Amino acid sequence: MTDIYRAIADPIRRKILISLSNKELTQSDIVALFAISQPAIKKHLSILLEENLIAARREGKYSVYRLKKDVFKLHYQKVQDELGNILENKLESLKYYLEEEKSGENH
């Protein structure tokens, strides 16, 4: 199961995902976007591959990466749902608290 939070926790991985949302990129293309080493980028790409958010294919001596948009959209929707549930629960708690405060003032 994809751990979307692990994948998007790091700003570099988020930028890689954003870059791949526009087009396929080679590892060299991705390295050129950052002021960090190629091995560090490789580590980030490995995490994104492990979490199944990107795919890689060989093109000659290059690896070409792409965003797995269908998988990403699914997990994006799950995150939205989870955050929506958290917010809804907080708002219900606030409503209950305010109603209790108001009823306490009337007594």
Instruction: Sketch the domain layout of the chain as residue ranges.
Output: 4-105
Q: What is the pTM of this model?
A: 0.74
Dihedral sign of CA atoms 25, 33, 27, 45 in order: negative
For the segment 35-74, what is each residue's pLDDT rounded down to a tens digit? 999 999 999 999 999 999 999 999 999 999 999 999 988 9
Task: Name the CA radius of gyration of the chain, rounded.
Answer: 21
Confidence class for position 107, pLDDT limits 50, 70, 90: low
4-105: CATH number: 1.10.10.10
